[in-house]
Structure formats: structure tokens, C-alpha cells
Amino acid sequence: METILSINGISKSYGPIQALKNVSFSVPEGCVFGILGPNGSGKTTLLGTILNVLKADAGSYQWFEGMQHDVARRHIGSLLETPNFYHYMSAMDNLEINASIKQRGHDDKLRVLEKVDLLQRKDSKFQTYSLGMKQRLAIGAALLGQPKVLVFDEPTNGLDPAGIAEIREMIRMLNKEGITIIMASHLLDEVEKVCTHVAILKKGDLLLSGPVEEVLQSEDQVEVKAADMPALQNVLNNMPGIIKTNLVNNVLLLSCNETLTTQNINEYCAAKGIILSHLLLRKKSLETKFMELTNN
């Protein structure tokens, strides 16, 4: 699979504040790649850097395995800020201005309006649009000229639940058509629902990156108790399949690999002469995992 974007050791500071610290990862072709992190983690700075709006202090990046940046930019559509359209002009006229600025997509306006479900409102003034429609028009502007890649910064920010659902469905649809999408978000729910790959940032540091199901794999924990807690911990420290044990408030918390069941643990303890007085499987949510990763 082709690599659409390679980021190699990018660092960026604003005075004493280091926004990005030696960040490296790759974006595979055809994915929806989420850059996830709390506000202030460096997401917007990273997007600005890879779009050549900001200059990195150190490191480099490559689009399309080495294509020149100015040539690559013609294959990338982006939405980094609040949509900037003329309120008194129609969708068609606003797209015409966008096409003139980009120097591409003049004959593409009707196609993109149909794509973002605004064809019937093509002659309506921008000021009559709802927030969700305004965001869809901004995505339409990003689609002018049929880019191979779309880059979005917080694409559902400020929208109501119906607007959020619309934008998420649109992202899925565009990706199914073969467009690689890179999007920054502070919402775990958003990344979990629409992204195939993710990089997690915290205060400029890259914590993890890779396929969503690997990076955000939630770990189940098992709670156990017995009359002799030190003996119980000693026995379970040696049980195959248990990754670690942690004694908290006289309850032993077990981190186990996915093949281990509570029945296995019960039988193992019984065989070692320990009768469990408490045995409980505790599911860890993705949200808990994310909070632990970002220390929030």
C-alpha cells in the first residue's frame, strides 16, 4: 500500500512553547487518519505544517512518496478554519471565487454541490444556510478539482448532533470513493466512529500511532480477592496470560491477555489451594484508555 504522507521528526516552537516535539508517523493510502488529542496538543500546528502554511523548526515531511510540495498541494483539499465565504453571495458564486483562488475546479461546482447535498440550494445566499450546510459547502470547496487527499481540522466543531452525523457520514462516503482523509479531532468518539488509523498527541508529543483497533484497544481487568491476599498475588504473578497484578484497596486487579477467562483464573487458583471470595470481570472503556494515555 502506498504511503500518502510521511512525517519525519517534525518539531515546532512558538517562543518558549514547544508545540511539536520530534513527531514522526506515516499515513497509508485510502485511510481515514485521525490526529487525536486534547486542545493544545499540537494538532492544528501539525496540519498547518504539512499544508505548508507553517514552517517547521526541524524535521521534514513528504507527500505522495516525494512529490514536490507545490505539485502535491494541487492534489490536496483542505478545511483548516471556519468557512470563509461571502454571506450575501450564493453557493455557486462562492465556489467560483474559491476555484479562482485555487486555479482549479471552475467546471466542478455542480458536481461538488451534488456531492455535499446542496445542489437544490445552489442559488441561495450563504447567510441563509444552517451551520451544518455552511460546513458542507466548505467541504464542497475543498473538493474542487477532485483532490486525492482531504485535510480537515475539527470538521464537526460547533455543529448540533444532526450536523455532526451528516459530516461524519460524508467523511465515510468520500473515503469509500477512494479519497484519503486526514482529520484532527479532540473527540475520541469521532475518531472511533469514522477513522481507520490514529495518531495520539499530547502537548506536542506523539504518544501512539497505528490502526485504530490496535492503538485504542481497550484492556479488560479482572478483580480478585481471597483470604490470604499476599499468597493470591504471588500465585497469580506466575500465571501464564496475566500481564501484571496490582493491589488496590485490598482488591487485586489483573491485566490479562485476551485469551484468558475468569474461569481459567478460578481453576488455576483452586489448583494452587486458594479459594477466591471475589471474582469480577471489569470492562475498561475506550474513554478510560484515552484519559490514561493523555493523563487527563
Give phi and psi for 255, each to the nearest 5: -100, 120
**pLDDT value for 7:** 97
Q: Are residues 79 and 98 in the same domain?
A: yes
Q: Are residues 148 and 202 in the same domain?
A: yes
Amino acid at the residue 162: A
Q: How far is CA 109 from CA 76, 91, 148, 164, 179, in A?
A: 17, 9, 17, 24, 18
The number of angstroms, rounded, from the C-alpha of 134 to the middle of its chain's C-alpha atoms is 23
Give phi and psi for 134, each to the nearest 5: -60, -40
| Distance separating alpha carbons of residues 239 and 256, to the nearest angstrom | 10
DSSP state of 148: S
**pLDDT value for 223:** 92
Extract the C-alpha cell encoding 258.
Answer: 485476551
DSSP state of 242: E
Mean pLDDT by 10 residues, the chain (296 residues): 93 94 96 93 95 95 92 92 86 94 89 95 94 93 95 92 92 96 92 92 91 76 92 93 88 85 94 94 68 66
Q: Are residues 182 and 234 in the same domain?
A: no
Q: How many domains does the chain have?
A: 2
| Distance separating alpha carbons of residues 90 and 97, to the nearest angstrom | 11
Q: Final residue of a domain: which of 161, 195, 215? A: 215
**pLDDT value for 25:** 96
**pLDDT value for 244:** 87
The partner residues of 248 in beta bridges, in order of sequence, read 251
Residues in the chain: 296
- Is the Cβ–Cβ distance between 152 and 184 less than 8 Å? yes
* Domain interval for residue 29: 3-215
- What's the CATH code of the domain at 33? 3.40.50.300
Q: Final residue of a domain: which of 215, 233, 259? A: 215
**pLDDT value for 283:** 67
**pLDDT value for 78:** 94
Q: Are residues 146 and 264 in the same domain?
A: no
Measure the N-to-C terminal CA separation of the chain; round to a whole number of Å.
Answer: 35
Q: Are residues 143 and 68 in the same domain?
A: yes
Q: Final residue of a domain: which of 198, 215, 232? A: 215
Q: Are residues 137 and 20 in the same domain?
A: yes
- What's the CATH code of the domain at 252? 3.30.70.100
